[in-house]
Amino acid sequence: MAAIPAEAPAPGPLPPSMEQPRRRRPCALLSFAAARDRFLRHRFLSAGLRPFSVRLPSPAGTSTVVHLWASPRPARRPVLLLHGFGASATWQWAPYLRSLLTAGLDPIVPDLLFFGASSSTLPDRSETFQARTIKAAMDGMGVRRFAVVGVSYGGFVGYRIAAMYPEAVEQVVLVSSGVCLDEQDLAAGLFPVADVGEAAELLVPRRPAEVRRLVKLTFVRPPPIMPSCFLRDYINVMGSDHIQEKTELLFALINDRKLSDLPKISQPTLIIWGEQDQVFPMELAHRLERSVWCFPLIVNSRLMYQTHLSIAEL
C-alpha cells in the first residue's frame, strides 16, 4: 500500500495518504479533553496503527474524505471497528486495541462521516451513504473481505454494510445497536426520549447538563461528580464540530424508520448488549435476535468487556 502526500494530484480515486500530525489551537494545550485526545492517539500509534485519509470519488465541486487508523502492513485478519455517536473512533476503541491485536486481528478503525476527521460536502445523511462511504474506504485500503464490529450507531452502519456487500463481510458483531427500532417505538415510550428532536439533544449535547444526562443513561456507574468546566471543555474540543450534520444523521436514521423495511443479513452474527442499557433497551436486542441468524445473545452488565474475545471466537 503506497502512501502519498495528501496534496499530491491523482486521477480518479486517490490512494490512502498517510496523515501529517494535526495542528492544535493554542488553547488546546491547557485542555483536559485535548490532552486526553492526544493520549488516545498515542495509544493507536504505539499499537502499530497509523492515520490515513482516503479521498473518495465525488461529483465536481464536492468532497468526501474518510479518516481511519490501520496498520501500514497488509491486513491478514481485518476487522472493521465502527464507533457510536461519540467524539471519534479513538475515544471508542483505544482500550481494546491491544486485546484485538493479541487475538491475531488487524483492526481498521475509521471515523464515520462528520465524526473525528471524516467529512463530506454531499447532502446525504443516510446510514446507506455511510455504508457506501466506509466500504469505498476499505476498497481504497485494498481490503476486500473483513469482519465488522459496530457499537450503537456504528452497528446501524455495519449492519447496512453487511446487507449491501455480503460478499465482502464475513462476520458481524453488533454491540447495543438498535437496528430493529421502529419510529413508532419513540412515541410508545420504549426510549428515554419521545421524539427525534429530543434524541438529538441527548446524543449531540451542547451544554454540560445534557452531557450529564447522557452519561447517566450510558454508564452503569456514572461518575458521582462531573464538574461543568470539564464537560464544557469536552464539548468545546471534541463535540463542537458538525453539530448540524450529526443532528441530520439522527433525523435520517429515525424518521419514517420501519422494522418491516430492514433487510436481512446472512452472515454469522453475534449480538452483545448491556443488561441495563437505557438508550437501546433489551427489547431491541431480542427483536434483533429474532431477525438474524446469530449466536446466542450475550448480555453483559459491563457492555464492552467481552467484545474482543467474542470477535476472536467467531
Q: Residues 255, 196: contact at Cβ < 8 Å?
A: yes
- Cell numbers representing residue 73 in the block: 502492513
104-144: pLDDT as tens digits:
999 999 999 999 999 999 999 999 999 999 999 999 999 99
| CA proximity to 53, closest of 91, 13, 104, 80 | 13
Q: How many helices (H) and strands (E) does the chain have?
A: 12, 10
Distance, CA of 313 to CA of 71 (rounded, Å)? 22
DSSP of 60-71:
TT--EEEEEEE-
Distance, CA of 155 to CA of 151 (rounded, Å)? 5
pLDDT computed for residue 217 by the predictor: 80
Does residue 299 carry a pLDDT above 50? yes
| CA neighbours closer than 13 Å in the CB half-sphere of residue 108 | 29
pTM: 0.86
Q: Where are the domains of the chain?
A: 30-313
pLDDT computed for residue 266 by the predictor: 92
Distance, CA of 184 to CA of 258 (rounded, Å)? 8
Does residue 6 carry a pLDDT above 80? no
More confident residue, 222 or 229: 229
Q: List helix spans (H) across the chain.
A: 32-46, 89-93, 97-102, 127-140, 153-164, 184-187, 196-203, 208-218, 228-238, 243-254, 282-291, 307-313
Third-level CATH fold of 30-313: Rossmann fold (3.40.50)
57-91: pLDDT as tens digits:
988 889 999 999 999 999 999 999 999 987 789 99
Report the pLDDT averaged over residues 196-201: 84
* CA dist 55 → 80, 81, 112 (Å): 18, 19, 14
Lowest mean pLDDT, pick from 7-16, 85-94, 176-185, 241-250 = 7-16
244-270: pLDDT as tens digits:
999 999 999 999 999 989 999 999 999
pLDDT band at 5 (very low <50, low <70, confident <90, very high): very low
DSSP H or E segment with residue 52: strand 50-56
Q: What's the whole-number average pLDDT of the chain? A: 85
